[in-house]
Chain A
Amino acid sequence: MTSAYTTLTTFFHAHRTTAAQISILPSPSPSILISTPHLGIPKQCLISAFTHARTVFSSADDDPTTLLDATTILILAASEHLTAINTRKRLLLSSQHSPSEELVLLESFLTSPLPRHNKSPLLWAHWKWVVATFALGPGLYQELEVVQRSADVHPRNYYAWDYARRVVIARGEVVGEETVEMHLRFCWRHAADVGVWMFLGFLLERVRDCVVVERVLEEVMRFCDVAPGHESLWCFVRTFIGKLMEPEARGRLVGMLEGWIGEEVVGEEREKEKRLEERALRWVERFGIKE
């Protein structure tokens, strides 16, 4: 019978150029399930593989392939395994490992439905380091797409959205309308995700055209009709209205909000939404820029 360690390392060897979709299977599951690109690992198998990987890693064996295999499994079992990640950096720098293959493995970790890997600060920093060190240059949209897939499997993904900011900043101060539209489409499907809304705020701050900015803000505010009760949406809206808009535009949107608050509402859901709107208005009145 093949050990879990061997099955897993063989899988990763066979998938050096396509990202895998990895998940941990609930117990009790009999064996590792493979249906490319899907890899399902029972917890027991991961533990068994980790135990062997640890022994290998602690030994004096410094054969590159062995180290790559062992560190892959260590990181799979413990996303914040700093020393395993650093070992891979050293192998990359001494040309004993391929940077593009490293990005494929990282893409697997960052976009798979695993509990920790997709939001890992170390793994996002490692991705950033590989891209920068080897000038691999995926384009803006490709990088943002990886962020989105990561955010899909892990909502409110702090390190993913910070990486998205660095990617945008590296490409200049101004953001185009198409980038905003692309992200807005993602917002509609993730109304409860504060990371998604705050990134919209980050993008809008860098849009030169205030007509576009006001249009987007109004669109988001009206969205609460179909997605009521989202505190994150209102945190984004109130901050932007209060601190980042031209006085006239702010006046128009505040007026719209006051109008809604003045209306009668029926039902628990609408009551909750109204309270969020009232709180947002109070925040703007209290903390907003005063002319």
Chain B
Amino acid sequence: TLYVEKHVAYIQSLDTRKDSLDYWLTEHLRLSGVYWGLTALCLLNRPDGLPREDTIAYVKSCQHKSGGFGANPGHDAHMLYTVSAIQILAIEEALDTIDRDHVARWISGLQQENGVFAGDEWGETDTRFLYGAMNCLSLLGKLDVIDVEKAVDYVLACQNHDGGFGMAPGAESHAGQIFTCVGALAIAGKLDKIDKDLLADWLCERQLPNGGLNGRPEKLEDVCYSWWVLSSLAMLGRLHWIDGESLVRFILRCQDGEGGGIADRPGDMVDVFHTVFGVAGLSLLGYQGLEEVDPVYCMPRKVTKKIL
């Protein structure tokens, strides 16, 4: 069974723990934490689980003059938190409360000559940020401010001989990076450019005898890979290649039946990151009672359908 009420209560309690150390130790990624919590609540059929006005006000308080968003007021702007900001506002139907062009301009300024994106002014590049830019701009309706063709070329340059993708050309295949590359190609409508069978074969090898999925060969199973691997397979139209039933059983075993929340693997401590990806994985697998998730965006399909 999925302990829906426990998970809802767990997520809602996260913001109240200002006396807990974990709250302050994760301050540098708070905005993403809110996105993870809100998305999980939506998929668990509690779209009003977080106070809408407060959430919108909080997101806006994270925005810098440059247009980008930081993880929390006082934290530097970065692509990762800008994506979370836009996703939250999209879910809350509040994209019109910000200046879309302003955000779009900040993002477009981060595209490099070769098509990839930096995370911020300091120049770290990674396909994660390229996917972030495409995700964000497509939700804002502003994909035209960047060179999509160059971005696609860069993604294709990251394809490896084993069919997978890495963070940069020549980098090792990794399920998380595969998600970002396949997602970017999906948004650009260019999935036909890759060998889907080869990649899906690599992705299916992530499933372990216990039903869980790992991110690379000989690694341990981890609930978050139930998302990165599964959504990639869904985008490739090969979700059925995996043993869905045993994966469902694995995800359910990762729950904390007492305090709510989902952990990376059975018996470990829960966190909101693994909670959203566990729930999203279950949604993709058709688990009853959950809202449909969009594999490209990891947001409720209802929301993305309306916007795009």
**Chain A residues within CB distance 8 Å of chain B:** 47, 50-51, 54, 58, 77-78, 80-84, 86, 89, 121-122, 125, 128-129, 156, 158, 161-162, 165-166, 169, 192-195, 198-199, 202, 230-232, 235, 239, 242-244, 283, 286-287
Judge whether A195 and B172 touch: CB under 8 Å. yes
B198 at the interface (CB under 8 A from A): yes
Q: Given known contacts A83-B28, A161-B172, A202-B170, is B122 in contact with A194 (CB within 8 Å)? A: no
Closest to A191 in B: B218
Judge whether B217 and A194 touch: CB under 8 Å. yes
Q: How far is the CA of A244 from the CA of B170 in the complex (A)?
A: 14
Q: Taking chain B's interface residues, is the majority helix, strand, or loop, or is none over half, making it mixed?
A: loop
Q: How far is the CA of A235 from the CA of B120 in the complex (A)?
A: 35
Judge whether A82 and B75 touch: CB under 8 Å. yes
Judge whether B217 and A231 touch: CB under 8 Å. yes
Residues of chain B with a CB closer than 8 A to A129's CB: 122-124
Q: How far is the CA of A202 from the CA of B216 in the complex (A)?
A: 17
Q: How far is the CA of A192 from the CA of B219 in the complex (A)?
A: 9
B174 at the interface (CB under 8 A from A): yes
Q: Give B138-169 interface residues, CB cut-off 8 Å to A.
A: 160-163, 166-168
B92 at the interface (CB under 8 A from A): no
Contact with A along B208-241 (1 / 0, CB 8 A): 0000000011110000000000000000000000
Q: How far is the CA of A198 from the CA of B172 in the complex (A)?
A: 6
Closest to A81 in B: B28
Q: Smallest Cβ distance from A279 to chain B, in angstroms?
A: 9
B14 at the interface (CB under 8 A from A): no
11 extra interface residue pairs, beta carbon distance < 8 Å, beyond A80-B28, A81-B28: A82-B75, A83-B70, A84-B28, A122-B124, A158-B174, A162-B168, A169-B170, A192-B218, A194-B172, A239-B161, A283-B201
Q: How far is the CA of A61 from the CA of B293 in the complex (A)?
A: 46
Q: Smallest Cβ distance from B129 to chain A, in angstroms?
A: 11
Residues of chain A with a CB closer than 8 A to B218's CB: 156, 192-194, 230-232
Q: Which of A86, A166, A192 contacts B76 (CB 8 A)?
A: A86
Judge whether B28 and A162 touch: CB under 8 Å. no
Residues of chain B with a CB closer than 8 A to A80's CB: 28-29
Residues of chain B with a CB closer than 8 A to A239's CB: 160-162
Sorted from nearest, which 3 A-B pairs have the closest CB atoms? A125-B124, A243-B161, A198-B172
B74 at the interface (CB under 8 A from A): yes
B126 at the interface (CB under 8 A from A): yes
Q: How far is the CA of A244 from the CA of B161 in the complex (A)?
A: 8
Closest to A168 in B: B170
Q: Smallest Cβ distance from B99 to chain A, in angstroms?
A: 24
Q: Given known contacts A194-B218, A244-B161, is B172 in contact with A158 (CB within 8 Å)? A: yes
Q: How far is the CA of A5 from the CA of B168 in the complex (A)?
A: 38
B78 at the interface (CB under 8 A from A): yes
**30 A-B pairs (CB sep. < 8 Å):** A51-B24, A58-B74, A78-B26, A78-B28, A80-B28, A80-B29, A82-B28, A82-B76, A83-B28, A83-B74, A84-B28, A86-B76, A121-B126, A156-B218, A156-B219, A158-B172, A158-B174, A162-B171, A162-B172, A165-B168, A169-B170, A192-B218, A194-B217, A199-B172, A230-B218, A231-B217, A235-B162, A235-B217, A239-B162, A287-B201
B21 at the interface (CB under 8 A from A): yes
Residues of chain B with a CB closer than 8 A to A156's CB: 216, 218-219
B181 at the interface (CB under 8 A from A): no
Residues of chain A with a CB closer than 8 A to B24's CB: 50-51, 54
Residues of chain B with a CB closer than 8 A to A86's CB: 76, 120, 122
Q: How far is the CA of A238 from the CA of B159 in the complex (A)?
A: 17
**Chain B residues within CB distance 8 Å of chain A:** 21, 24-29, 70-71, 74-76, 78, 120, 122-124, 126, 160-163, 166-168, 170-174, 198, 201, 216-219
Residues of chain A with a CB closer than 8 A to B21's CB: 47, 51
Q: Smallest Cβ distance from B61 to chain A, in angstroms?
A: 15
Residues of chain A with a CB closer than 8 A to B122's CB: 86, 89, 125, 129
Residues of chain A with a CB closer than 8 A to B76's CB: 82-83, 86
Q: How far is the CA of A287 from the CA of B21 in the complex (A)?
A: 50
Closest to B170 in A: A165
Q: Given known contacts A82-B75, A83-B75, A162-B166, is B217 in contact with A232 (CB within 8 Å)? A: yes
Residues of chain B with a CB closer than 8 A to A287's CB: 163, 198, 201
Q: Smallest Cβ distance from B132 to chain A, in angstroms?
A: 13
Q: How far is the CA of A86 from the CA of B9 in the complex (A)?
A: 36
Q: How far is the CA of A264 from the CA of B126 in the complex (A)?
A: 47
Q: Smallest Cβ distance from B295 to chain A, in angstroms?
A: 23
Q: Smallest Cβ distance from A151 to chain B, in angstroms?
A: 12
Judge whether B28 and A77 touch: CB under 8 Å. no
Q: How far is the CA of A202 from the CA of B166 in the complex (A)?
A: 13
Residues of chain A with a CB closer than 8 A to B167's CB: 158, 162
Q: Smallest Cβ distance from B117 to chain A, in angstroms?
A: 14
Q: How far is the CA of A287 from the CA of B161 in the complex (A)?
A: 10
Q: Given known contacts A121-B126, A235-B217, A239-B162, is B71 in contact with A82 (CB within 8 Å)? A: yes
Q: How far is the CA of A81 from the CA of B26 in the complex (A)?
A: 9
Judge whether B172 and A82 touch: CB under 8 Å. no
